Amino acid sequence: MSINSESKSKLINEFSRSEKDTGSPEVQIAILTERISNLTEHFQSHKKDNHSRTGLMRLINQRRSLLAYLKKSNKDSYDKLIDKLGIRK
> Quick one: pLDDT at residue 2?
82
| Domains in the chain: ranges and CATH | 5-85 (1.10.287.10)
> Quick one: pLDDT at residue 1?
67
Write the DSSP symbol of residue 48. T
> Quick one: pLDDT at residue 89?
55
Which pTM was predicted? 0.93
Q: For 11-50, how does the pLDDT look when each residue is reduced to its tens digit (9 = 90+)?
A: 999 999 998 998 999 999 999 999 999 999 999 999 999 9
Q: Can you say whether residue 86 is alpha, beta or left, with left for phi > 0 and alpha for psi between -120 and 50 degrees? A: left
Pairs from 40-49 (Cβ < 8 Å, separation ≥ 24): 42/1
Residue 25: count other Cβ atoms within 10 Å of its Cβ: 22
